[in-house]
């Protein structure tokens, strides 16, 4: 068993044991009114540890353990905290605008975290099947280079092929102008690129030998650009879930703080 | 030509750092400047190099030397010392990191603004922070009137002290809570059932907590009655009851009954003891003699006037609410068969029911009774009719004293009739004597005295029960009346009978509150 499998097994086992213990305690003490206070504080503690993972990432120079270990903790604690959240709610939907908003914020934060986990487990494997590593920040430059190459080939001074020039202007220029097919790439569909390639291959029938050579190069450029778009889509998805996860975490913390004030202010230390 | 996306080798000179906030505006064209934007997103591009002035010994002016990395440019620095190849300024582009920071700020700002607006406006605040609808009892017109009478706030402030104040008051109330926000240890060991500050609000309308046991420790109203659930205020759960009844230590100091400490109970189906009327062998002390088995299964019991067989529902009729049964009454339930015909030859004349004195008076005025009957029936010879009847009685019963004794003390076995009714008889049941059903004694005055039957309307007065809810099952499933021959039998179901349905296995609710009430019946409210 390699290190990753060992970590995964121990993490999963710990999560399962903690979950079963939490559910057992809920079964036994769930109806006691102060139970909501205790689960609430446990939930807050969990949220605190989850949140400081972001702080840990910003302080790499402090000896706070490996970031990889923090990520593992973040993932397993995230699942456990979701269970604590459900226990805190007694597995029921809350009532009232404030509590509903708070609950939805938690659902969105934990849901986006799970989506992020899914992406980070699935998308890198898919990326590895489509060419080498492409640095996300360099994709615009690479796209620009491909566009320039295609443009020179089709419209350059020595192009001399109206068939290719027309096809480029009508069909290829919009394709090379920017990122395309974000959603199709995410769902692993090559429908649009295949259609474009088929159209371009069709032009071979009307082309002479010189033009056929250019078409072959253009086909390769289209495939490269499609691969680049594929990388961009998947790498963007790997980054975009954080646009929900992180901002809403801060919203959740603000609402949580108010929740504590309301609970204590309105119960007078009671229920 | 490769068809894979271009994957350039690592370029140490143009290392793109994803943690930077800004990238050069020319980066998308692949010719980002080496300096890149500053931390605030301003372009720092000037020229490709910064020429250095070199002055050789003896020279006064010196020469500007190109410092362009890689290769020196042919034109060299300009005479004023500036580079001849200036870099065009760009508009740096924020990275995803910056956009994410902006999104975070937007969410934080929106959340704060929303909370400030909603919390700053009292009507919106109350609606916004309410964790759920108030129960009907605390939100209707009746509550509004009561609140007005008691000079109470009619919003959150009616119950919550913090409800009368704004955001600062809420924070102060939270900080002043007992146990406090940061007193985790106290919170962990706080006894959850203890009355708290909010109970003071309950007591403004509900005068005192009326407990089922005087020695029970004080319990907060909100321990059992959870508000903000809308509708009818939430029912007590088993866990509330188990807080005391499931705790052996608490039960050991509770009121000791004649059987010792009350039992520890968690769930009806699990450890609820058998009902006390069974374990303590309660007997019905009623002196009325009644045989359920005979009335339900006896071959001598005639059918009712409609032809149907006598069954439970003939005598046991539900009250208006359907929850309990009306008391059985002689006139309504018994008289239809048990007519008080003391003179077999004159079935029209019957003894009165309800008082031994009336019966005595009736028997002592028989001539008058017969005369009245003759008048009522328009007998031509009323006097002769009376004499004939009295003579018939004398023949059958002897003297008036004998008749009175027979009427009061005779039972079917002692009287002239060995059975009180026949299926084919002229009447449904002849009258054998009061003692057939009643306990008849002789008073000190010598007059007969009938012990008044005492039939309790409810055996388990503290328990809740609703016959209407059990209408789908037959009476016999719970009440084993067909085997009861003795009045002393208490024909209530045993725990096992209830458990057949009221248990997790039976699928019907089996919580404590299904049968028990916590408060004494005379709960005070004004």
Range of the domain at B409: 329-450
User: Which parts of chain A register pLDDT below 70?
Assistant: 1, 31-34, 268-271
Question: How many residues in total does chain B contain?
Answer: 526
In order, the DSSP letters of B190-242 are --TTS--HHHHHHHHHS-S---SSTTSPP--HHHH---SS-SSPPPPPHHHHH
Co-location of A254 and A197 in the same domain: no
Q: Which of A102-116, A180-194, B253-267, B320-334 is the least confident region? A: B253-267
> Is B306 a member of any domain?
no
pLDDT higher than 90, residue B8: no
With beta carbons less than 8 A apart as the criterion, state whether B252 and B419 touch.
no
Judge: B198–A246 Cβ closer than 8 Å, yes or no.
no
Co-location of A11 and A69 in the same domain: yes
> Is B412 a member of any domain?
yes
Interchain CB contact of B161 with A (< 8 Å): yes
Judge: B177–A267 Cβ closer than 8 Å, yes or no.
yes
Distance in Å, alpha carbon of B214 to nearest chain A alpha carbon? 23
Co-location of A223 and A262 in the same domain: no
A168 vs B440: CA distance, rounded Å: 121
Co-location of A251 and A125 in the same domain: yes
Name the residue facing B177 among A142, A243, A264 (closest C-beta). Answer: A264
Co-location of A79 and A24 in the same domain: yes
Q: For A74-99, how does the pLDDT look when each residue is reduced to its tens digit (9 = 90+)?
A: 999 999 999 999 999 988 888 889 99
How much is the average pLDDT of B287-306? Answer: 86
B155 vs B138: CA distance, rounded Å: 10
Question: 3-state class of B258 per DSSP?
Answer: coil
Co-location of A19 and A126 in the same domain: yes
How much is the average pLDDT of B229-242? Answer: 82
How much is the average pLDDT of B452-476? Answer: 89
Co-location of A159 and A34 in the same domain: no
> Is B334 a member of any domain?
yes
pTM here is 0.68
Residue A36's pLDDT is 81
User: SS3 letters for B137-191?
Assistant: HHCCHHHHHHHHHCCCCCCHHHCCHHHHCCHHHHHHHHHCCCCCCCCHHHHHHCC
Q: How many domains does chain A have?
A: 2
- Better-predicted residue by pLDDT, B308 or B507: B507
Q: How many domains does chain B have?
A: 1
Co-location of A119 and A184 in the same domain: no
With beta carbons less than 8 A apart as the criterion, state whether B287 and B439 touch.
yes
Co-location of A110 and A143 in the same domain: no
pLDDT band at B421 (very low <50, low <70, confident <90, very high): very low
Judge: B108–A136 Cβ closer than 8 Å, yes or no.
no
Co-location of A109 and A13 in the same domain: yes
Distance in Å, alpha carbon of A1 to nearest chain B alpha carbon? 33
Q: What is the helix (H) or strand (E) element at residue A112, kind and residue range? A: helix A97-128
Return the percentage of chain B with pLDDT > 70, whole number.
88
B137 vs B229: CA distance, rounded Å: 12
Q: Which residues of A, range 143-172, sit inside 8 Å of B by Cβ?
A: 143-146
> Is B365 a member of any domain?
yes
Range of the domain at A91: 3-130+240-267
Residue B423's pLDDT is 36
> Is B232 a member of any domain?
no
pLDDT higher than 60, residue B187: yes
Distance in Å, alpha carbon of A60 to nearest chain B alpha carbon? 13
Q: Which of A40, A43, A265 to mutate to test the interface with B (most CBs of B within 10 A)?
A: A265
Residue B49's pLDDT is 87
- Better-predicted residue by pLDDT, B128 or B417: B128
- In DSSP terms, B64 is beta-bridged to B53
- Better-predicted residue by pLDDT, B150 or B515: B515
Q: Which residues of A, range 47-86, sit inside 8 Å of B by Cβ?
A: none
Q: Which positions in chain B touch A231 (Cβ < 8 Å)? A: 5
Co-location of A17 and A97 in the same domain: yes
Co-location of A244 and A224 in the same domain: no
Q: How many beta-carbon pairs below 8 A join chains A and B?
A: 199
Query: Best-predicted range by mean pLDDT among A47-51, B87-91, B305-309, B431-435?
Result: A47-51
Alpha helices (H) in B342-450, listed in sequence order: 356-364, 366-376, 382-397, 400-409
Residue B525's pLDDT is 39
Q: Which of B59-68, B200-209, B314-323, B409-418 is the least confident region? A: B409-418
Name the residue facing A246 among B23, B100, B130 (closest C-beta). Answer: B100
End-to-end CA distance of chain A: 50
- Better-predicted residue by pLDDT, A30 or B327: B327
With beta carbons less than 8 A apart as the criterion, state whether B262 and B255 touch.
yes
Tokens of B287: 């002196």
Interchain CB contact of B196 with A (< 8 Å): yes
Peptide bond into B179 cis (omega under 30): yes
Judge: A95–B131 Cβ closer than 8 Å, yes or no.
yes
Tokens of B492: 């209530």
Residue B429's pLDDT is 58
Interchain CB contact of B156 with A (< 8 Å): yes
Residue A270's pLDDT is 41
Interchain CB contact of A135 with B (< 8 Å): yes
A217 vs A173: CA distance, rounded Å: 15
Q: What is the largest CA-CA distance in chain B?
A: 179
Q: Is B216 left (phi over 0), alpha (psi -120 to 50) or beta?
A: beta
ipTM for this prediction:
0.89
Interchain CB contact of A213 with B (< 8 Å): no
Residue B20's pLDDT is 81
pLDDT higher than 50, residue B425: no
């Amino acid at each position: 068993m390699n290190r990753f499998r060992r970590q995964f097994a121990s993490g999963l086992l710990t999560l399962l044991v903690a979950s079963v213990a939490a559910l057992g305690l809920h079964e036994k003490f769930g109806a006691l009114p102060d139970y909501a206070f205790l689960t609430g504080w446990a939930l807050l503690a969990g949220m605190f540890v989850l949140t400081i993972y972001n702080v840990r990432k910003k302080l790499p120079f402090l000896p706070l353990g490996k970031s990889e270990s923090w990520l593992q903790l973040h993932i397993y604690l995230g699942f456990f905290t979701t269970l604590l959240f459900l226990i805190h709610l007694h597995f029921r939907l809350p009532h009232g605008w404030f509590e509903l908003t708070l609950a939805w914020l938690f659902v969105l934060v934990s849901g986006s975290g799970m989506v992020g986990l899914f992406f980070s487990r699935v998308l890198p494997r898919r990326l590895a099947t489509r060419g080498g590593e492409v640095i996300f920040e360099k994709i615009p430059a690479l796209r620009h280079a491909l566009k320039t190459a295609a443009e020179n080939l089709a419209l350059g001074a020595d192009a001399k092929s109206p068939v290719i020039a027309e096809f480029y202007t009508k069909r290829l220029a919009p394709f090379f102008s920017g990122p395309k097919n974000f959603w199709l790439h995410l769902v692993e569909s090559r429908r649009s690129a295949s259609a474009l390639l088929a159209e371009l291959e069709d032009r071979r029938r009307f082309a002479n030998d010189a033009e056929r050579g250019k078409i072959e190069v253009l086909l390769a450029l289209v495939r490269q650009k499609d691969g680049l778009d594929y990388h961009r889509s998947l790498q963007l998805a790997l980054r975009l879930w954080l646009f929900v996860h992180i901002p809403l975490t801060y919203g959740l913390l603000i609402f949580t703080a108010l929740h504590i004030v309301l609970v204590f202010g309105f119960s007078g230390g009671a229920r | 030509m490769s068809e894979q996306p271009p994957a350039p080798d690592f370029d140490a000179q143009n290392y793109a750092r994803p943690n930077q906030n800004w990238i050069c505006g020319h980066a998308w064209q692949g010719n980002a400047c080496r300096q890149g934007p500053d931390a605030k997103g301003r372009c720092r591009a000037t020229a490709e190099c910064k020429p250095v002035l070199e002055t050789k010994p003896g020279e006064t002016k010196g020469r500007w030397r190109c410092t362009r990395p890689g290769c020196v440019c042919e034109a060299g620095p300009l005479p004023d010392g500036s580079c001849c190849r200036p870099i065009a300024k760009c508009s740096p582009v924020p990275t995803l990191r910056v956009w994410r920071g902006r999104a975070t700020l937007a969410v934080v700002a929106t959340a704060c603004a929303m909370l400030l607006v909603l919390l700053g406006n009292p009507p919106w605040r109350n609606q916004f922070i309410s964790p759920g609808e108030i129960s009907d009892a605390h939100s209707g017109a009746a509550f509004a009137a009561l609140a007005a009478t008691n000079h109470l706030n009619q919003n959150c402030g009616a119950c919550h002290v913090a409800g009368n104040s704004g955001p600062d008051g809420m924070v102060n109330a939270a900080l002043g809570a007992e146990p406090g926000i940061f007193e985790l240890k106290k919170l962990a060991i706080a006894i959850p059932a203890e009355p708290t500050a909010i109970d003071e609000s309950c007591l403004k309308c509900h005068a005192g907590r009326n407990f089922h046991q005087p020695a029970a420790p004080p319990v907060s109203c909100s321990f059992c009655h959870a508000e903000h659930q809308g509708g009818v205020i939430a029912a007590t759960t088993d866990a509330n009851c188990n807080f005391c009844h499931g705790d052996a230590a608490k039960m050991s100091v509770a009121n000791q009954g004649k059987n010792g400490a009350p039992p520890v109970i968690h769930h009806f189906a699990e450890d609820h003891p058998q009902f006390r009327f069974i374990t303590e062998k309660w007997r019905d002390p009623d002196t009325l003699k009644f045989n359920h088995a005979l009335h339900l299964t006896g071959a001598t019991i005639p059918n009712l006037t409609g032809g149907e067989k006598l069954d439970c529902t003939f005598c046991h009729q539900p009250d208006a609410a359907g929850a309990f049964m009306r008391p059985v009454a002689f006139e309504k339930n018994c008289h239809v068969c048990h007519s008080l015909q003391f003179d077999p030859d004159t079935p029209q004349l019957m003894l009165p029911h309800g008082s031994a004195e009336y019966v005595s008076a009736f028997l002592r005025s028989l001539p008058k009774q017969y005369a009245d009957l003759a008048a009522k029936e328009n007998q031509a010879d009323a006097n002769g009719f009376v004499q004939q009847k009295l003579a018939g009685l004398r023949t059958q019963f002897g003297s008036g004293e004998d008749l009175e004794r027979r009427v009061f003390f005779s039972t079917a076995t002692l009287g002239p009739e060995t059975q009180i009714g026949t299926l084919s008889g002229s009447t449904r049941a002849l009258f054998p004597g009061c003692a057939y059903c009643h306990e008849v004694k002789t008073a000190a005055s010598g007059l007969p005295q009938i012990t008044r039957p005492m039939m309790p309307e409810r055996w388990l007065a503290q328990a809740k029960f609703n016959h209407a809810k059990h209408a789908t099952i037959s009476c016999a499933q719970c009440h084993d009346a067909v085997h009861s021959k003795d009045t002393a039998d208490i024909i209530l179901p045993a725990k096992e009978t209830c458990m057949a349905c009221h248990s997790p296995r039976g699928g019907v609710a089996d919580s404590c509150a299904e049968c028990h009430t916590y408060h004494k019946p005379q709960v005070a409210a004004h």
